[in-house]
A and B are shown apart, each in its own frame.
Chain A
Amino acid sequence: MPQEIHREEVRRLVAEGAQLVEVLPSPEYEEDHLPGAIHLPLKKIDSRARDVLDRNRAVIVYCWDVA
């Protein structure tokens, strides 16, 4: 079950090597994304996740907010 986390935990996990993933569409990622975030739009997860993400490392996904 994915674990819900907040800002400080994000910073800590990223410092420990977690992969940060923005799942929003391209224009929104291109305008602003968290430092070092990988772009993997929700619609592309099925086809690309295994290619662009390391299954042996933690993954943090985010969009705009809880919506």
Chain B
Amino acid sequence: MSPRAAWRLETLGFSNVYDYVDGKNDWMAAGLPTEGTNNLEPRAADLARKDVPTCGLTEKVGDVKARATAAGWDAAVVINDERVVFGLLRSKELNSSPEELIEKVMRPAPSTFRPFVSAHEMLHFMADHKVENAPITTSDGRLFGLLLQKDVIAAMEKKS
């Protein structure tokens, strides 16, 4: 739709026309702010915790667990240098053998969600699939934060 609009504007005498080809999907998936009625509802981006511990594939479980525990977490996200998500560690994985490498124990390729997904939708998914947390990522797979089910429930209760 936007290419047609851009071309039509040129024929109407606008000489400096640009087409943001990736559009609103890209903007929202990057977690950037928007205006509109949907902002009245909390979204994944509003609730995701950005301070979630992260680690690399070749770290040892014991080191990551110690770091996560010290920060008050029982989860960590496995990422690369570009913050692209490769895996997820919940308490079960963090309680694996301390000498094991993260890439051997992690939950690979976890389901991820975009920052603009509503808290309501997230709660449904998390309850249906019995997951206590879920990584929120941008459209290019980079970690935005970790969404905890308890935070979503608290936000929904506060709203009602």
Contact (Cβ within 8 A) A5 B34: no
Most buried by A among B3, B14, B35: B14
Determine which residue in B4, B19, B25 has the highest number of CB atoms from chain A within 10 A of its CB, and name it: B19
Interface code A2-39, partner B: CB below 8 Å = 1, 0 otherwise? 11111101100100001001111000011111111100
CB pair A31–B38 under 8 Å, yes or no, is: yes
**B1-15 interface with A by 8 A CB criterion:** 1-10, 12-15
A residues in contact with B20, CB < 8 Å: 5-7, 10, 60-62
The reply to whether B26 and A7 form a contact with Cβ atoms under 8 Å apart is yes
Whether the Cβ atoms of A63 and B23 lie closer than 8 Å is: yes
Interface range on chain A (Cβ under 8 Å from partner): 35 or more
Q: Looking at A13, A21, A30, which has the most chain B CB atoms within 10 Å of its CB? A: A21
Contact between A61 and B34, CB atoms less than 8 A apart:
no
- A63 vs B14: C-alpha distance in the bound complex, in angstroms? 18
CB nearest to B4 among chain A residues: A42
- B24→A64 contact, CB < 8 A: yes
Binding site for A on B (CB under 8 A): 1-10, 12-28, 30, 32-39, 116
